[in-house]
């Protein structure tokens, strides 16, 4: 007998996240990815970097990929931008987004926090990486899970 691992988000919630990614990416040539897992035994930023590299998110042409990472069981999260983003944005670029996500998460509003972060990331990246008419979706929009 095979048991399917239960996901943190329902299929409907996952679709809302994917839809938010697709909509946000219509504003920017940047790429947005969400990765969720139950536990994070280490620093969430370090773990997000491991996932970022494993998913080859550092291979986008403009180095403008963003990973929104959530370890729901340990209540840890991180937002990680690639070199192209970090070279042009202020040091506190992600702070407001992280604060708002944290506010949602404290109320157990995980879907709302993730969707907010996706929308905000799209808006912020638009300033530095506007959508191009010949834009190619370099990373699939599906949620990755660990």
Q: Strands, E, within the chain: which ranges? A: 31-37, 65-71, 76-81, 144-145
Please determine, for residue 106, whether its predicted confidence score (pLDDT) is greater than 60. Answer: yes
Neighbouring C-alpha atoms within 13 Å toward the C-beta of 15: 3
Q: What DSSP line would sit under 47-86, residue for residue?
A: HHHHHHHHTTGGGSTTS-EEEEEEETTTTEEEEEE-HHHH
DSSP conformational letter for 112: H
Q: Residue 33: its pLDDT value, please? A: 98
Q: What is the mean pLDDT of residues 121-143?
A: 92
Q: What is the mean pLDDT of residues 108-136?
A: 93
Give the chain's domains with CATH numbers. 11-82+90-132 (3.10.310.50)
The encoded tokens of residue 72 equal: 């729901």
- The model's pLDDT over 16-53, given as tens digits with 9 standing for 90+, comes to 999 999 999 999 999 999 999 999 999 999 999 999 99
pLDDT band at 126, cuts 50/70/90? very high
Please determine, for residue 1, whether its predicted confidence score (pLDDT) is greater than 60. Answer: no
Could you tell me the end-to-end alpha-carbon distance of the chain, in angstroms, rounded to an integer? 22
Please determine, for residue 92, whether its predicted confidence score (pLDDT) is greater than 70. Answer: yes
């Amino acid at each position: 007998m095979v048991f399917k691992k239960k996901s943190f988000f329902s299929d409907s919630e996952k679709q809302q996240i994917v839809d938010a990614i697709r909509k946000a990416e219509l504003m920017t040539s940047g790429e947005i990815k969400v990765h969720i897992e139950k536990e994070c035994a280490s620093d969430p930023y370090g773990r997000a970097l491991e996932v970022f590299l494993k998913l080859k998110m550092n291979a986008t042409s403009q180095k403008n990929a963003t990973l929104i990472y959530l370890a729901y069981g340990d209540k840890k999260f991180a937002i990680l931008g690639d070199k192209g983003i970090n070279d042009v944005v202020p040091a506190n670029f992600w702070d407001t987004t992280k604060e708002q996500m944290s506010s949602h998460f404290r109320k157990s509003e995980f879907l709302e926090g993730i969707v907010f972060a996706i929308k905000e990331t799209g808006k912020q990246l638009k300033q530095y990486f506007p959508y191009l008419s010949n834009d190619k979706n370099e990373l699939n929009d599906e949620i990755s899970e660990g």
